[in-house]
Amino acid sequence: MEVNAKQDLRNFLKKALENHRDHKEFADDESLFVSGRLDSFSMMTLVMYLEEAFGLDFSDFEFDVNLVDSVNAIEVLVDAKQAV
Amino acid sequence: MTLVFEDYLQIPSVEVALDAFLHGQPYPIGVGWACLLLSTAKYALTIALWSALFIGIARLAGYRLPRGCWRPLESRTLMEYFNRFHYYFKELLVDFFFLPTFFAVFRGYPRLRMFFATFMAAGVGNALWHFLRQIDNVATMGLAGAIDSFTSYLFYCVILATGIGISQVRASVGIRPSATHFGMLYSGLCVWSFVVCLHVFGGESSRHTLLDRVLFMMSLFGVA
CB contact under 8 A, A47 and B66: no
DSSP B26: P
Average pLDDT, chain A: 88
Q: Which of A15, A34, A40 to mutate to test the interface with B (most CBs of B within 10 A)?
A: A40
Q: What is the pLDDT of residue B204?
A: 63
Instruction: Please enumerate in sequence order all residues whose Cβ is within 8 A of that of B10, keeping only pairs 6 or more positions apart, or say none.
Output: none
* Burial call B138-165: b when 16+ CB within 10 Å, e when fewer: eeebeeeebeebbebbbbbbbbbbbbbb
Contact B127/B154 with Cβ under 8 angstroms? yes
Size of interface A-B (CB pairs under 8 A): 37
What contacts B150, CB < 8 A, 6 or more positions away? B127, B130, B131, B134, B137, B206
CA distance B184 to B7: 35
Minimal CA separation from B202 to chain A, in Å: 24
Separation of alpha carbons B102 and B53, rounded Å: 32
CA distance B97 to B124: 8
pLDDT tens-digit map of B31-51: 999 999 999 998 999 999 999
Decide if B167 touches A, using CB distance below 8 A: no
* A64 exposure class (CB count in 10 Å sphere: 0-12, 13-18, 19+): exposed
Cβ within 8 Å, pair B172-A35: no
What's the pTM value of the predicted model, to 2 decimals?
0.87
Whole-complex ipTM: 0.78
**Would the pLDDT of B133 be above 70?**
yes
Q: How confident is the model at residue A63 (pLDDT cuts 50, 70, 90)?
A: confident
Please name the residue ranges forming H helices in B61-180. 78-85, 87-93, 99-104, 110-119, 126-133, 136-172
Cα of A53 to nearest chain B Cα, Å: 14
Whether residue B93 contacts residue B132, with contact meaning beta carbons closer than 8 Å, is answered with no
User: Closest-CA residue in chain B for A43?
Assistant: B99
Q: If contacts are CB pairs under 8 Å, which of residues 41-80 in chain A contact chain B?
A: 41, 44-45, 47-48, 58-59, 63
pLDDT at A1: 76
